[in-house]
Amino acid sequence: MSSASVVPRGRAAVTFAARLTFEAVERRYGDGMALRGVSLDIAPGEVVCLLGPSGCGKTTLLRIASGIEKPSRGRVLINDAEVAGPNRFVPPEERSVGLMFQDFALFPHLDVLDNVAFGLRALPREEARREALAILARVGLEGFAHEQPNTLSGGQQQRVALARAIVPRPAVMLMDEPFSGLDVQLRDSMQEETLALLRETRATSLIVTHHPEEAMRLGDRIAVMRGGHLVKLGTAEDLYRHPGELFIARMFSEINEVPYKVSKGAIATPIGNVPAPGLAEGDTAILCIRERGIVLRVPSAEGAEGGLAGRVLDVKFLGAVALLEVGIEGFDAPLRVRAREIEGWRKGAEVRVTIDTERVLVFASSGAETL
Ligand code: ATP
């Protein structure tokens, strides 16, 4: 173990899980700020997904964790020891971090085995190759050890990259859009396999993604970034139920947005008065209704009496779910509704519509959720 290492460097079967902490991290590029004071504490063995629009600073935060970049201000700590900050800078190779990129970055001139063994350069060659073979077996690629990377499929290359990153048993795994190069079906199974391997090794993991569903699937918690800020941190369920901001609500479910003027701290809607606390008289509030939060019934059905009258204006079949446009009494414009396809809704059908007021969200026109 090098004197500068902050976690025991091991090749043991299980990683020494490490805490990864960002304290008010800033990163300036010329006049621009890529990160504006990001604080985030990731528990040992936890998987956190970084989610946010293009250019919000996700990759920069990952690069700072790895040591490829330095913060302009603030600190990064691994197991409470500073690895980047005013007092100390620990280079990437001494941080016990594993890195995996979107393009996999395999060495084209090395075969699969040597690509994986590259992560174990510190070991005697035979031992490194033995360990590399063991991890290749773990990801189901032992039969490809002597192939060149460019002869493998996208999914196989992804497994090689994963094996190479994980074989030194890094305490922290940093992954930058690791699945975006894969087609949708493959992505599904690779997400499962990758998560299983991360859990098995107990590596603390930070995964950058553009896809909310991927973040919900992989992350113990999700950190949502925008404009260099970390704007929200929570479990998938927290973020879904209490998004806090309109742009986060839009990320996590399909919604209808209907503007209303605030009067006496509430908005008067066809489903009753909905509180809009914190907004001034005459402000605009946006009522958000989830497309899946609207229940349609045939008028004669049980429970349909209390609903609003509506008519199906359009139906699109999306497999198990149908996307409907429904004109509803009291609403100026039709609402989109996602319903089970099996219900067999037809264009022109009369329906009764129920919207649960407990499940709607109200935002200020600035996008902030009213509390
Ligand atoms: P994407 O999802 O598109 O990869 P991101 O959220 O990962 O985006 P970053 O790559 O971290 O965003 O970039 C954040 C901001 O910092 C962007 O405005 C980007 O242009 C800027 N930036 C990043 N790296 C550099 C650099 N080396 N020099 C100058 N500006 C940079």
Instruction: Give the model confidence (pLDDT) of 254-302 as tens digits.
Output: 999 999 999 999 999 999 999 998 899 999 999 999 999 999 998 887 7
Reference 112, options 71, 154, 152, 72; nearest CA is: 152
SS3 category, 7:
coil
Q: What residues does 294 pair with on adjacent strands?
A: 355
Task: Give the tens place of pLDDT for each residue, 62-83.
Answer: 999 999 999 999 999 999 999 9
User: Span 27-45, mean pLDDT?
Assistant: 96
Look up residue 344 and give its two tokens.
């067999």
Type of residue found at 328: I
Task: Give the tens place of pLDDT for each residue, 325-347.
Answer: 999 999 999 999 999 877 778 99
User: Span 146-161, mean pLDDT?
Assistant: 90
Q: pLDDT at residue 5 above 90?
A: no
| pLDDT reported for residue 314 | 96
Mean pLDDT of the residues in the chain: 90
Which residue has the least CA distance to atom 28 on ligand 1? 29
Q: pTM value?
A: 0.89
User: Span 226-251, mean pLDDT?
Assistant: 95
Which residue has the least CA distance to atom 2 on ligand 1? 54
User: How many angstroms is it from 336 CA to the middle of ligand 1?
Assistant: 35
Residue 367: pLDDT band (50, 70, 90) is: confident
Task: Give the tens place of pLDDT for each residue, 299-312.
Answer: 887 766 778 999 99
Which residue has the least CA distance to atom 5 on ligand 1? 55
Q: Is the CB of 87 under 6 A from ligand 1?
A: no
Which residue has the least CA distance to atom 25 on ligand 1? 29
Beta strands in 30-107 (DSSP E): 32-42, 47-51, 73-78, 81-84, 97-100
Report whether 307 contacts 314 (CB < 8 A).
no
Q: What residues does 326 pair with on adjacent strands?
A: 312, 335
| CA atoms of 143 and 64, how far apart (whole Å) | 36
Look up residue 244 and give its two tokens.
């806090």
Q: Is the CB of 209 under 6 A from ligand 1?
A: no
Element (H, E) at 130: helix 125-138
Edge to edge, the sheet with strand 284-290 lists 255-261, 284-290, 361-364
Residue from 26, 59, 174 whose mutation best tests the ligand 1 pocket (most atoms within 8 A of CB): 59
| pLDDT reported for residue 301 | 76
Which residue has the least CA distance to atom 21 on ligand 1? 34
Set out the domains of the chain in order of their start, with CATH numbers.
8-241 (3.40.50.300), 257-364 (2.40.50.100)
Which residue has the least CA distance to atom 17 on ligand 1? 55
Using CA atoms of 222, 226, 229, 234 in order, give the dihedral in degrees to the nearest 10. -20
| pLDDT reported for residue 138 | 87
User: How many angstroms is it from 223 CA to the middle of ligand 1?
Assistant: 17
User: Span 208-227, mean pLDDT?
Assistant: 95
Residue 363: pLDDT band (50, 70, 90) is: very high
User: How many angstroms is it from 67 CA to the middle of ligand 1?
Assistant: 16
Type of residue found at 62: L
Residue from 29, 50, 69 whose mutation best tests the ligand 1 pocket (most atoms within 8 A of CB): 29
Which residue has the least CA distance to atom 1 on ligand 1? 54
> What percentage of residues in the chain have a pLDDT greater than 70?
95
Look up residue 324 and give its two tokens.
């409907």
Q: Is the CB of 53 under 6 A from ligand 1?
A: no
Residue 193: pLDDT band (50, 70, 90) is: confident
Report the range out of 11-15, 103-107, 141-145, 204-208 with the highest average pLDDT.
204-208
Residue 4: pLDDT band (50, 70, 90) is: very low
Q: pLDDT at residue 251 above 80?
A: yes
Residue from 35, 60, 225 whose mutation best tests the ligand 1 pocket (most atoms within 8 A of CB): 60
Q: Is the CB of 54 under 6 A from ligand 1?
A: yes
Q: pLDDT at residue 155 above 90?
A: no
